[in-house]
Amino acid sequence: MKKNWCYFNGKITTIDKIKISPYDIGLLRGYGVFDVMVAFNQNPFILEAHYKRLQNSAKELKLKVPISQKDYRKIIEKLIQKNGYKDSTIRTILTGGKSPDAFSIGNPTFFILIEKFHHYPEAIYQKGAKVITLEFERYRPKAKITNYVEAIRNQDIKKKQKALEIVFVKEGKVLEASTSNIFLCNNRTLITTKERILLGTTRNLVIELAEKNGFKVEQREIKEAELLKSQEVFLTATNKNIVPIVNVDGKKIGNGKVGEKTQELMNILAQFIKNY
């Protein structure tokens, strides 16, 4: 059986050698943060942005990332080589560590996992996907915390309705999806919220690329009614890139097909990734 190499508390080792204390408050209390990055052709994609977000997440929970960005890159590049996947998913997890009283922060537990990256079916990008909405707001949205209870407990509903994602709405405002950011597109104007959400690395990149290619970007509150009236809607995420959304809660967006502006942005992002 092929060994799966990882990094755990200062050492490169294999998954089967990882031992996490049952008194780790990441387990006992859910006190931890994480980040997910991808590597295309064994090249970590926008690593600097992911490391910065990991640092910001850690700071929100009064934790500290135990390695520098330079060492982070070196470790990830070595793990990518040892695991041998062409395209990889890279998960970095930082918890409060083993606690003496199940409440105090101990020595942080820090590990990096490498998996084979699984691309979404091409049909999703060609035909578009469906999402459902849920009344919910992420706790401490500035941090990518490990608490995904609400998203996980609603997976059965998502699957039953054949939806790709769950979009969080709160008091009539559209916030974000469970593992993605959401954009509305009308003509060449993109609309996405900035407050009360986790600012995704792909979200930020798409905004930058869109503005360089003649799109106007509005970062503001989005009313739920705007979502259904929008000409085009799409999601952005590290493991999805740009996914066109053609159906929300059973209602068509636009003509129910992938919009021209969304397709243009998909092509722009794909070219950026290819040249990265």
pTM of the predicted structure, to 2 decimals:
0.96
CA dist list (Å): 174 to 18, 88, 212, 237: 40, 31, 26, 17
Q: Which CATH number fits domain 5-116: 3.40.50.720, 3.30.470.10, 3.60.90.10, 3.90.1150.10?
A: 3.30.470.10
Per-residue tokens: 123: 């049909």
Q: Give the separation between CA 249 and CA 10, rounded to whole angstroms.
A: 46
**Paired strand residues for 222:** 174
> Does the fold of domain 122-275 match that of domain 5-116?
no
Q: How many CB atoms lie within 10 A of CB 102?
A: 11
Instruction: List the chain domain ranges.
Output: 5-116, 122-275
Q: Give the separation between CA 18 and CA 174, rounded to whole angstroms.
A: 40
Per-residue tokens: 245: 């959304």
In this structure, are residues 32 and 96 in contact, taking their beta carbons and an 8 Å threshold? Answer: yes
Q: Give the separation between CA 266 and CA 273, rounded to whole angstroms.
A: 11
Strand, helix or coil for residue 130: strand
DSSP 215: -
Q: Give the separation between CA 258 and CA 264, rounded to whole angstroms.
A: 10
Q: How many CB atoms lie within 10 A of CB 135?
A: 10
Q: What is the pLDDT tens value at each position of the chain, 276 positions in all?
A: 678 999 999 999 999 999 999 999 999 999 999 999 999 999 999 999 999 999 999 999 999 999 999 999 999 999 999 999 999 999 999 999 999 999 999 999 999 999 999 999 999 999 999 999 999 999 999 999 999 999 999 999 999 999 999 999 999 999 999 999 999 999 999 999 999 999 999 999 999 999 999 999 999 999 999 999 999 999 999 999 999 999 999 999 999 999 999 999 999 999 999 999
CATH architecture of 122-275: Alpha-Beta Barrel (3.20)
Q: Give the separation between CA 109 and CA 69, rounded to whole angstroms.
A: 17
Q: Give the separation between CA 261 and CA 184, rounded to whole angstroms.
A: 11
